[in-house]
Structure 1
Amino acid sequence: MQHCVRDTRAFLALAVALASTPSLAGGFFEDSHANLALKNYYLDRDYKDGGAKSAAREWAQGFNLFVESGFTEGPVGFGLDARGLLGLKLDSAPDRSGTELLPVSKSDKVAADDYSRLAMTAKMKISQTTVKSGDNLIFLPFAFASPSRLLPQTFRGTTLSSKEIDGLTVNAGYLDRINKRDSTSYERMAIASPNGRFRGAETSPHMLYAGADYQLNKSLGFRAYHAELKDLYQQDTLAALYEQGIGDGTFSADLRSFFSREDGQARAGRVDNVNASAMFSYRLGGHRLGIGYMHSSGDSATPYVSGTELMGMSELTMSSDFLNAKEHTWQAIYDYDFVALGVPGLKSRLRYVRGDNIELASLNADDRKEREFQMELGYVIQSGPMKNVGFLARKSIYRNDFPTGAAFRDENQTRFIVTYTLPIW
């Protein structure tokens, strides 16, 4: 870890020095840009299982200032990015805190009035290969930085992305810390452990990963990755996406699989899981209908990094992750884009997800079930002084037959989100 910090500081110093050299700095400044993303977020969990806590309900405002430089001129280009994040509490109380919009004191459950962080990323580019060191956003199958709260979640480390071959994107990286979406500091990575699936308190010093996305042609793409969270688990990812026009519409098939096992000292406990899913969709005009199935097998649940989301079939569900041991999951999605009726910017979604055959070993339960019905309506203003202001309303109704003490509780959940990105230069 100390080597990673020293290398990042040296990289930052080199980038700043080169950017200050007039003969090299042209692209550094000319290609730079900045924007300020605003997010106003209300989240309400209304629990329906008769537990001691009846609700988690908070309202907050987020600010995300992102400044991105270009690259210095020459065969090797250097650049520097900066991200400033601020979250403000608008409404909360100790008896209903804990939505993960805001940091919460463990002792009295009081949410912070505000929280902020400043992060820097140095970068270097050779041809079509870019190396970044410092604060990184990761959107890969095994570590998908969750976009579902107020501020973005980031990782500290060094990443490489290369597009030297047409259609092929190679990604690799070393990550040693995570900054969670409701936190102000970096911490060691851990394995997500809802329902006591693993030893969630155990942490890893770093993650290593490598893999690639390959677009064979306009219709067919593949992806393959290997990731190791040292002394916790390893995970291999294989996926394929196919899209083809059929009749007046478009058919798509999305196939994903994750093969997981423990790594090194296996501090998180036994990891033995294969998660495979298939999603088939058809789009016609403004309509899109999708049907999917996900199958989990092996001795454990599907592992993923605590605080992130796994890019499986259940990503972006609201009330549960549907990744329990031996879980079999069906889902149906209906999307409608109102541009077909002459209302661009207005979109809706209905989604039903049902999981059964669930094993909850830590709760001495098996053959359990869960289900979630999700509704969404979003609109982005297309013109006028409020152009690009986005509104999103999300609602879920979630129920299960899990024992008392389970992480996922019966609830009706509501989210209202207003977003706007202001270009600065």
Structure 2
Amino acid sequence: MRKTSLALAVAASTLGLSLSQAAFADFIGDSKATIEARNFYFNRDFRQGNSNTPTPSQSKSEEWAQGFILRANSGFTEGTVGFGADAIGMFGFKLDSGDGTAGSGLLVPDASSKGSQDNNSDLAVAAKVKVSNSTLRVGQMQFKNAAIASSDGRLLPQVFEAGHLVSQEIDGLMLEAAHIREVNNRNSNDYEDISIISGGQRGIKTTGGTTSDSFDFIGGTYKVSKDLTAGYYYSNLDELYKQHSFNAVHVLPLGDKQSLKTDLRYARSTDDGRRSNVDNTAIGAMVTYGLGGHAFGLGYQKMSGDTGFAYLNNTDPFLVNYVQISDFGNKDEKSYQARYDYNFASIGIPGLTFMTRYLTGDNVDRGRNLSEGKEWERNTELMYVFQEGALKNLGVRWRNASVRSNFANDLDENRLIVSYTLPLL
């Protein structure tokens, strides 16, 4: 009996170990991890100092910083219900920030010195559960859709604390919903309530503050055909605004190395209660003709209603004319865009790309007894990613912008970003 019991115990232990290894095989085997080293130089020249600058007398914002971003995504344990976890580790430190030139958004502000802190770090972790082709994540994460898009335009990314459900049970259909409580902005160490963009010529006014501790969205995209994708999202920043967003993207093949891409967007935003006056209809269209390595684009965007476009502060708005600095989403504004891209891979230089665009906006409502607001912005971007050798995956990116306006600061800006991504798993 003792031998039998011992044998059973050993067998059960061995079986349990085997089952445990099998259960965690996909959890480990499907895991992915990368670390990105991002070196960022930012220079914004305020052509005229006024109250719109970080400090009224500031003539420029100039900082240089180094960041590291670790992204780790596990697989799921085996079984009907799979479990996993995702993480984003962030660390940034100051290389240079002279007296009076802080405020670039690269680094965390330092209230005592009115400059920037020497370093900052954060760890965002989300637990996840998967059943069939549906996944629920709870914790800290990033988003990118028509309702909300986390900003990654500085040293470290913007992260939200949320619960997020994604379902892909039907082929071609992706549905998602989320409840978001707080945000950790790209130049912050702390989570805080979510705020609505306001100020400028947007005409958005609030009572009782501009923040809320509740943002919800539901929606998704459907691949109607291999060339057409459509999407719809409903979102609500509690007591401040609610929004319906529609979009359709169609790519029409025209022959050898030719295509015509059409991106249409529509959003209707209204107030949610008595804390804001949001009332906006935004329409936009971007048409791009591709020919070999060339791409020629034309864009149009129009705002109507009692206010400009509403969205979460510090995020990337879902507008076709949202570019490096401006979003052209002011009250009653009409704007136009001309864009040109070139991919040098078409002439045997893979990894090298070039972009330039020009946007102009007018008809901005500046209030009673003032002429219409006008603005323009010009962007140029050159990027090269090494394709082989010791520097493979090293990217060098230069972004230049100029803005001129009769209702906001005139700006000249340069950003130089050197990044290297190393796969760990």
Q: Confirm or deny: 8 A CA contact 2:124 2:141 kept in the other structure.
A: no
- What's the RMSD between the two structures over aligned residues? 1.6
Kindly provide the amino acid, as one letter, of the partner of residue 417 in structure 1.
I
Which residue pairs with 1:41 in the alignment? 40
**Deviation string for 1:248-273 (max 9, x for gaps)?**
31001100011000113x32x20000
**Deviation string for 1:207-229 (max 9, x for gaps)?**
11100100111111100000001
Kindly provide the amino acid, as one letter, of the partner of residue 26 in structure 2.
G
Matches within 5 A, 1:268-417: 269-315=276-322, 317-361=323-367, 365-402=370-407, 406=408, 409-417=409-417
When the two structures are superposed, what TM-score results if normalisation uses the length of structure 2? 0.90
Give the fraction of aligned pairs with identical amino acids, expressed as a percent: 39
**Deviation string for 1:195-243 (max 9, x for gaps)?**
1743474211211110010011111110000000101100110000010
Q: Confirm or deny: 8 A CA contact 2:205 2:277 kept in the other structure.
A: no
* CA distance, structure 1, for counterparts of residue 172 and residue 290 of structure 2: 25
* CA distance, structure 2, for counterparts of residue 287 and residue 22 of structure 1: 51
Give the counterpart of 2:268 among 259, 268, 279: 259
Q: For residue 94 of structure 2, give the secondary structure of its aligned residue in structure 1.
A: strand
Q: Confirm or deny: 8 A CA contact 1:190 1:202 kept in the other structure.
A: yes
Q: Confirm or deny: 8 A CA contact 1:394 1:415 kept in the other structure.
A: yes
Q: Confirm or deny: 8 A CA contact 1:134 1:157 kept in the other structure.
A: yes
* CA distance, structure 1, for counterparts of residue 370 and residue 169 of structure 2: 51
Which residue pairs with 1:225 in the alignment? 233
Q: How many residues align?
A: 397
**Deviation string for 1:260-311 (max 9, x for gaps)?**
00113x32x2000000001111000111000010000000010110110112
Question: How far does residue 118 in structure 1 lie from its aligned partner after superposition?
Answer: 1.1
**Deviation string for 1:322-367 (max 9, x for gaps)?**
1111000000100000111110000000100111001234x97451
Whether 1:193 aligns to 2:198 is yes
Q: Pick the structure with greater CA Rg.
A: 2
Q: Confirm or deny: 8 A CA contact 1:93 1:111 kept in the other structure.
A: no
Give the counterpart of 2:162 among 157, 160, 166: 157
**Deviation string for 1:402-422 (max 9, x for gaps)?**
1xxx4xx10110000011111
* CA distance, structure 2, for counterparts of residue 36 and residue 26 of structure 1: 23
* CA distance, structure 2, for counterparts of residue 259 and residue 38 of structure 1: 39
* CA distance, structure 2, for counterparts of residue 22 and residue 388 of structure 1: 34
* CA distance, structure 2, for counterparts of residue 183 and residue 194 of structure 1: 21
Spell out structure 1 runs of 4+ moving beyond 4 A: 20-23, 363-366
Q: Confirm or deny: 8 A CA contact 2:103 2:115 kept in the other structure.
A: no
Give the counterpart of 1:170 among 166, 169, 175: 175
Question: How far does residue 119 in structure 1 lie from its aligned partner after superposition?
Answer: 1.5
Kindly provide the amino acid, as one letter, of the partner of residue 45 in structure 2.
D
Q: Confirm or deny: 8 A CA contact 1:94 1:111 kept in the other structure.
A: no
Q: Confirm or deny: 8 A CA contact 1:94 1:108 kept in the other structure.
A: no
Whether 1:78 aligns to 2:83 is yes
Which residue pairs with 1:422 in the alignment? 422
When the two structures are superposed, what TM-score results if normalisation uses the length of structure 1? 0.90
Matches within 5 A, 1:112-123: 112-123=117-128
Moved more, 49-58 or 252-261: 49-58
Q: For residue 225 of structure 1, give the secondary structure of its aligned residue in structure 2.
A: strand
**Deviation string for 1:131-161 (max 9, x for gaps)?**
1000111001121111211111111010011
Q: For residue 338 of structure 2, give the secondary structure of its aligned residue in structure 1.
A: strand
**Deviation string for 1:159-192 (max 9, x for gaps)?**
0111111111001111111110111111110101
